[in-house]
Structure 1
Amino acid sequence: MKELIKEAIADLKKADGFIYVTADGKQIDLHEAASSGIAVTPVNPKKEVIKKLEAAGLPLNDAKFLNELNELISLVTGNSVATKSSKRRTFSDSEKSKIVGEWAKVEATGKKTKAAFAREIGVGYQTFINWLRG
């Protein structure tokens, strides 16, 4: 379990915005896909990490479980654990530009709405709209 958590942290730290997967679900570098003419879909790495952790029995989308886990950690360590981090993610101009470029590709397929895409990448709808106008 300890290794799985370390791996999840490493995956989230090394992810540059989101990862790219082929139609058969294999992860691929965006530049490699572009040079080979392979179609890819952007995927929020958080979702992949959550899937792995849930498969191992850690339901991180379950608020009750998280509250109980935080309470257990607090009781065992004697430290108070915050239930939710208020730190917001800040995107650089290059990340915003990359995301807007990915939206153009996704929009061309007509398979997703702006709102669904914004949720998938983890930003608010209005924030995403502002990036598109920007």
Structure 2
Amino acid sequence: MRDLIKEAIADLKKSEGFIYKTAEGKKIDLHEAAARGIAVTPVNPKDDVIKKLEAAGLFLTDGKFLSDFNELVSLISGGSVAKTSKRRTFTDGEKSKIISEWKKVEAAGNKTKAAFAREIGIGYQTFINWLRG
């Protein structure tokens, strides 16, 4: 499990934005695909990581599971269970990057706004407000 988590972290750190896959599922550089005339699909590396973690029983996109897991870790480590949550504040640059990533995903047509917002960890209405921005 530890190796899986370390691998997931490494996959997310080394990837900037989307990776591109051919119809056969092979990763390919976007410029190489364009030069060779190969059709590609943009894939968010988070999707691959989430699938691997869920296959191992870690449902980190499920808020209830994550809350239960955090409570378990807190109880094991001897800490008290605090029901506090900090709101994440995004800079204008981060918001712009997220919106540009959404435009790429929207062009590919394979995800809803709600699913995208959930995937990046923001509320749907917050995301909609950013798009209206």
Q: Would the TM-score normalized by the shorter structure come out above 0.5?
A: yes
Q: Which of 125, 130, 133 is the equivalent residue of 1:127?
A: 130
Match of 1:87 in 2: 88
How much is the aligned-residue C-alpha RMSD, in angstroms? 3.6
Q: Distance in 1 between matches of 2:4 and 2:10?
A: 10
Q: Is the 8 A contact 2:99 2:131 kept in 1?
A: no
Normalising by structure 2, report the TM-score: 0.66
Match of 2:36 in 1: 36
Q: Distance in 1 between matches of 2:65 and 2:46?
A: 18
- Paired residue total: 126
Residue segments in structure 2 that go unaligned for 5+ positions in a row: none
User: Percent identity of the aligned residues?
Assistant: 50
Q: SS at 2:28's partner residue?
A: coil
Give how far 1:45 is off.
Answer: 1.5
Q: Distance in 1 between matches of 2:118 and 2:19?
A: 12
Residue segments in structure 1 that go unaligned for 5+ positions in a row: none
* Structure-to-structure mapping, 1:1-134, within 5 angstroms: 1-79=1-79, 86-88=87-89, 91=93, 99=101, 102=104, 106=107, 111=109, 115=113, 119=117, 122=120, 124-128=127-131
> Which 4+ residue blocks in structure 1 deviate beyond 2 angstroms?
61-64, 78-92, 94-104, 111-130
